[in-house]
Amino acid sequence: MDDYQQAAAGLRCWQGLPEHTEVTFFHDHLTDASTLVERLRPFDAVVAMRERTPFPAAVLERLPALRLLITTGMSNAAIDLDAARLLGITVCGTRLRPHPAAELTWALILELAKRTGRQDTGLRAGAWQSGVGLDLDGATLGVVGLGKLGRKVAAIGAAFGMDVVAWSQNLTAEHGASAGVEVVSKEELFRRSDYVTIHLRYSERTRSVVGEAELGLMKPTAFLVNTSRAPIVDQAALLAALHGGRIGGAGLDVHPVEPVPASDPVLRAPHTVLTPHIGYVTRGNFELSYSDAAECVSAFLSDRPVRVL
């Protein structure tokens, strides 16, 4: 499903599937549930790329042939696991590399600070230097969520000479110290940071954890970066802060509706760097996750399913 770049179709891993297994690749994205059901009705197994296509109970119930649903990654909030179990559908996951999202976080931070993309565009248009870049050394990096990704981002910030602070609901001073990071309150993080980057797992507890109050604490020169999940940030509050000049800008890889429709107001928001949810979209990740997906199919056909969620 959702093989936008036709990257999955070119991998050799599918050649190792059992004889007579037929594989079909879909390069477009369907938003209408009835159209999606009609497309998937003949298939015994479906491989979903992350959360690009939701599989709620209302969809799963209309797919009587479906026996195996595979998601890249070991969690997928867009799949109703309880409904799948009740319907006898086995749901399996795959591995994903831990570093690509951290790398993209820094691509966004560096673009916000150094404006390399804008400088390239300006140079090609005949301008010689447009605007002034910002220093990272000595600036404060606020990391919201200090899990595997947050720790990687924090380590790179420290390597740039930044002061790194962190917060999450259950973060302890001891855990922060083990990463060389100062643990502060949520309010202090937003007040002190020149760059705030989000690395929380999305759940009802983290929905809109960054809202009007938090954005209101930020410096007017500070930047917000989100490579996690869009609903963690109150989108209306973020747009208001950007248009009001109350923060310096934002780097966003995740969006409320994906693919982003032309009508999405974020496309017209000032001082933004936008990417189309590519934090996990790397060659290495695709090779690993789709190879695991092929393994899941073979294991299921041998009555020995692996990485069951």
Mode of pairing for the β-strands spanning 90-93 and 68-71 = parallel
Q: Please confirm, yes or no, whether 212 is among the known catalytic residues.
A: no
- Cα separation, 70 vs 185, in Å, equals 39
Residue 229 among the catalytic residues: yes
Range 24-28 contact pairs with CB under 8 angstroms and sequence separation of 24 or more? 26/1, 26/2, 27/3, 28/2
Q: Is 277 a catalytic residue?
A: yes
| Long-range contacts, 265-268 (Cβ 8 Å, 24+) | 265/239, 266/235, 266/239
3-state helix/strand/coil string of 55-122: ECHHHHCCCCCCCEEEECCCCCCCECHHHHHHCCCEEEECCCCCCHHHHHHHHHHHHHHHCHHHHHHH
Residues 16, 289, 156, 210, Cα dihedral to 10°: 170
- Helix, coil or strand: residue 49: coil
39 burial class (0-12, 13-18, 19+ CB within 10 angstroms)?
A: middle
Q: What is the DSSP letter of 268?
A: G
Distance between CA atoms of residues 229 and 128, nearest Å = 37
* Cβ pair 16, 296 in contact under 8 A: no
> Which of these is catalytic: 52, 229, 255, 295?
229
Catalytic residue chosen out of the listed positions 175, 258, 271, 307 = 258
Residue 298, Cβ density class (10 Å: 0-12 exposed, 13-18 middle, ≥19 buried): middle
What positions carry a catalytic annotation? 229, 258, 277
